[in-house]
Structure formats: C-alpha cells, structure tokens
C-alpha cells in the first residue's frame, strides 16, 4: 500500500469515526439533558470540584456535561489541587491531569473544555495509529475494520471522557512504532510517559524487554538497549515519591489502590469470582464484564503465534494484571473490565482479522451499538458501568 495513499485513507477513517463518537455523545447527551433535570454531577457526596462553568444553553455544555463523571471528577481535582492532602487521589497518576492543566493555562478553557478537546485530538490520532498497526503488523486488507471494532465497542465513549485511557493508548502505540523504526531510546522515553499516565503502565516494560532484546544481535547491543528501560522504574518511583510528598501520606500510591477496591487475587480466587458471577442475578454491566473477560481469555488462546509476539505478550500481561488485580464493586468482581479491555488493542485488531460472514459482522455492530447507547445512558445518569 502506497504510503501517501495509506495515510490519506487513515486520516479519512479516523475523521469519520471521531465524528461518529462525537455524534453519539452529543445526541444522547442532548436527549438526556432534556429529559432528566438535573443530571447528577456529584457522586457519593464527592464535592471535589465546582460545577461545569459553561452556559447550559451552549453546545459545549451538551458535549462535556454527560462525560464529566466518576474518575473524571478525580482528574479535575488533581489538575486543580495536585494531590494536596488527598491520598485517595494518588490512585490516579499525574501526566493526564497535569497536561489538561497546561492546556487550561494556555487557552483559558475550563477543565471540561480542555479535556474534551485534548481527548478528541488523541482519539483521532489513536484511530490513525490503529489503522497503520492493522495494515503493517497484521497485514489487514481493510484496516478500517479495526477502527470500526473500537468505535462501536460498548465502552468506547470512555475514550472521549476525561479519563487517561486514550492518552496511554496513544503513548503505547507511539513507543511501539518508535521501536519498530529502530529508535529504541526514543521508544523508552515515550514509555516513561506511559508509566506516568497510569499505575499499571509500568508493566509495559515487559513487552518492551522482549522487543528490545530480540532486535539486537550482539550481547553488547542487547545490554545497551535494555539499559534504556531502566528509565521506566525510575519514573515510576519519582511519581510515587511526588504523590507521597503532596498527599502527606507514605506509600499513598499503593494504599489508594486498596481504597478503590483493587487487590491481588489468587488463581483460586479468580475461579471463585467467576463462579460468584454465574450465581448472581442478571445485571447487564456485571455479566457483560464477565463475557468480555472470558472472550479475552479465548482470544489470547487462539491468537498465540498469530499476532506479533510482543503484542501478544503485551495483551497477556495486561489481561493478567486486570484479572488478578480486579476492581470489585461491592462483592462483584471484574467490574471495570469492559473499560480496561480498551487497552487490549492487539486483540481488537485480531478480532477484526477473523473472517466471518457479513451477517455476523452486522449482528456484532448492531449489538455493540445498542450496548454503547445503553452504557452511555447509564454512565450519564450516574450509574457506574466500568
């Protein structure tokens, strides 16, 4: 595929589906704002932030209000207060909220406006990167199919919400493309930013170790490239130290994880969690999380040896992190898995590569669209879905 032609197609695809995501948010948001007054904004007495400053009769308000929920409130708190005397906020790493703060200072935007514009740009870039990865590493004849899988996924709206997920995805892909281009030090520097975006970003070092090691022919070159990756644990410890300093709590990063329901689960505990879900009464978010967790395991099994090894290792490591450190909502395990699944982009691209009849593809798109609408409605009215 000619480079200029491929880039043009990637840009057009990304523009179409970025617009699609905005259309979904605007239409559902405008309908709900007309039907439910007021939409919930504070959750569980979390009076951490001021109300959205945009006038309620503007398009800005319609776009940003439905997205500003849950973790977005905490990211805004960090952007404004920098973890000051609030150890619970250290579960969220600083790169995303501090970047939004810089945009606010440069443009005069509110947090909500800055986050929406930033995430929109990141989403557009992400779709381009996914397009190229599908074309170059998965050799897809129609790489736009991988973008469709993402754009219609039930929790894809989180990529526009003021969450750090889309920033982390872009940085991971940039790091991988830098490594594929034999720019290993640059890849390591971008990976440092990955670590500063989310706590589990430190696990990105594992596929990079494999990729850097296999790419070097001599032991000296292997050692030099692997030494670049020492920057990642250093960056992690710097973030932890900074959070401890600002929050006034020692080991606040690790303590805050347990506050949010994250804890290590043994393999037997995972089995018990699966059995627990099977015995519980039907709940759409709970059982969709369960189905996606099972589907993810199946995709890992059948994609082994098919997708590039470093991408399979990446998917395997993060899948295990998400399962064995599952967030529990009350007694319900895997409660955020449908959002965490967005990080497993190699499995999304692999899914798009599976050859099935068009009627099955249409059925998938229809069901995904229905679930996307339902989940976004739930999220907007204050129901925790992922």
- Could you write out the DSSP letters of every residue in 238-298? HHHHHHHHHHT-TTHHHHHHHHTTB----HHHHHHHHHHHHHSPP-HHHHHHHHHHHHHHH
Q: Half-sphere exposure of 211 toward its Cβ, with a 13 Å CA cutoff?
A: 28
Average pLDDT over residues 71-94: 85
45 confidence band (pLDDT: 50, 70, 90): very low
Average pLDDT over residues 256-268: 69
Q: Is the pLDDT of residue 298 over 80?
A: yes
Q: Is the dihedral of CA 377, 289, 159, 24 positive or negative?
A: negative
Does residue 374 fall inside a structural domain?
no
Q: Name the DSSP class of 218.
A: S
Peptide bond into 195 cis (omega under 30): no
Distance between CA atoms of residues 362 and 200, nearest Å: 34
Does residue 119 fall inside a structural domain?
yes
Are residues 4 and 153 part of one domain?
Answer: yes
Residue 278 has a pLDDT of 67
Residue 50 has a pLDDT of 39
Q: Is the pLDDT of residue 36 over 70?
A: no
Are residues 189 and 75 part of one domain?
Answer: no
Are residues 58 and 132 part of one domain?
Answer: yes
Q: Name the DSSP class of 196.
A: T
* 36-64 exposure pattern, b = at least 16 Cβ within 10 A, e = fewer: eeebeeeeeeeebbeebebeeeeebbbbb
Residue 17 has a pLDDT of 95
Residues paired with 327 in a beta bridge: 262
Domain extent for 320: 261-354
Q: What is the pLDDT of residues 144-203, one digit of tens each?
A: 999 999 999 999 999 999 999 999 999 999 999 999 999 999 999 999 999 999 999 999
Distance between CA atoms of residues 372 and 291, nearest Å: 15
Q: Which residue has the higher pLDDT, 384 or 206?
A: 206
213 confidence band (pLDDT: 50, 70, 90): very high
Does residue 103 fall inside a structural domain?
yes
44 confidence band (pLDDT: 50, 70, 90): very low
Spatial neighbors of 213 by CB under 8 A, at least 6 apart, are: 222, 225, 226
47 confidence band (pLDDT: 50, 70, 90): very low
Are residues 180 and 232 part of one domain?
Answer: yes
Residue 310 has a pLDDT of 96
| Mean pLDDT value across the chain | 85
Does residue 147 fall inside a structural domain?
yes
Task: Write down the H helix ranges in the chain.
Answer: 3-35, 59-64, 71-81, 95-107, 111-136, 144-151, 165-180, 184-195, 205-215, 219-228, 231-247, 252-259, 267-279, 284-303, 309-324, 337-340, 345-353, 358-380
Question: For residue 255, what are its two tokens?
Answer: 């303590």
Point out the least confidently predicted range of 60-74, 103-117, 291-305: 60-74
Residue 1 has a pLDDT of 46
Are residues 138 and 1 part of one domain?
Answer: yes
pTM score: 0.91
Residue 35 has a pLDDT of 67
Are residues 337 and 274 part of one domain?
Answer: yes
CB 91 within 8 A of CB 199: yes
Q: Which residue has the higher pLDDT, 358 or 238?
A: 238
Q: Is the pLDDT of residue 125 over 50?
A: yes
Residue 200 has a pLDDT of 92
Residues paired with 303 in a beta bridge: none
Q: Half-sphere exposure of 321 toward its Cβ, with a 13 Å CA cutoff?
A: 18
Q: How many domains does the chain have?
A: 3
Q: Is the pLDDT of residue 319 over 70?
A: yes
Spatial neighbors of 111 by CB under 8 A, at least 6 apart, are: 49, 76, 79, 80, 100, 104, 162
Average pLDDT over residues 23-49: 62
130 confidence band (pLDDT: 50, 70, 90): very high
Are residues 148 and 41 part of one domain?
Answer: yes
Spatial neighbors of 290 by CB under 8 A, at least 6 apart, are: 274, 277, 278, 334
CB 70 within 8 A of CB 158: no
Are residues 143 and 2 part of one domain?
Answer: yes
Residue 43 has a pLDDT of 46
Q: Is the pLDDT of residue 308 over 80?
A: yes
Are residues 299 and 177 part of one domain?
Answer: no
């Amino acid at each position: 595929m000619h480079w200029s032609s491929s880039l043009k197609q990637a840009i057009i695809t990304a523009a179409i589906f970025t617009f699609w995501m905005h259309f979904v948010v605007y239409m559902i948001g405008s309908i709900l704002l007309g039907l439910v007054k007021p939409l919930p904004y504070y959750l569980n007495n979390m009076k951490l932030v001021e109300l959205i400053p945009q006038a309620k009769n503007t398009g800005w308000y319609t776009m940003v209000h439905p997205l500003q929920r849950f973790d977005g409130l905490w990211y805004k708190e960090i952007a404004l207060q920098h973890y000051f005397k609030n150890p619970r906020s250290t579960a969220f790493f600083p790169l995303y909220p501090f970047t939004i703060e810089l945009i606010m200072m440069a443009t005069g935007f509110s947090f909500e406006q800055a986050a929406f514009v930033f995430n929109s740009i990141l989403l557009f870039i992400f779709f381009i990167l996914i397009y190229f990865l599908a074309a170059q590493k998965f050799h897809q004849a129609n790489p736009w199919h991988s973008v469709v899988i993402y754009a219609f996924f039930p929790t894809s709206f989180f990529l526009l919400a003021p969450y750090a997920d889309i920033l982390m995805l872009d940085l991971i892909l940039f790091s991988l493309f830098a490594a594929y281009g034999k720019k290993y030090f640059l890849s390591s520097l971008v990976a440092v930013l990955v670590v500063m975006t989310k706590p589990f970003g430190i696990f990105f070092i594992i596929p990079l170790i494999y990729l850097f090691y296999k790419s070097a022919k001599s032991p000296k070159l292997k050692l030099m490239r692997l030494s670049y990756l020492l920057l990642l644990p250093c960056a992690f410890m710097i973030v932890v130290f900074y959070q401890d300093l600002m929050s006034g709590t020692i080991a606040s990063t690790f303590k805050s994880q347990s506050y949010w329901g994250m804890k290590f689960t043994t393999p037997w505990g995972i089995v018990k969690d699966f059995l627990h879900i099977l015995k519980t009464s039907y709940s759409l978010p709970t059982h969709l999380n369960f189905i996606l967790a099972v589907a993810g395991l199946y995709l890992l099994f059948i994609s082994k040896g098919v997708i590039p090894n470093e991408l399979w290792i990446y998917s395997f490591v993060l899948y295990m992190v998400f399962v064995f450190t599952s967030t529990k909502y009350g007694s319900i395990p895997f409660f955020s898995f449908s959002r965490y699944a967005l990080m497993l982009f190699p499995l999304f691209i692999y899914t798009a590569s599976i050859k099935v009849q068009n009627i099955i593809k249409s059925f998938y798109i229809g069901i995904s669209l229905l679930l996307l609408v339902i989940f976004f409605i739930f999220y907007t009215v204050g129901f925790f879905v992922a």
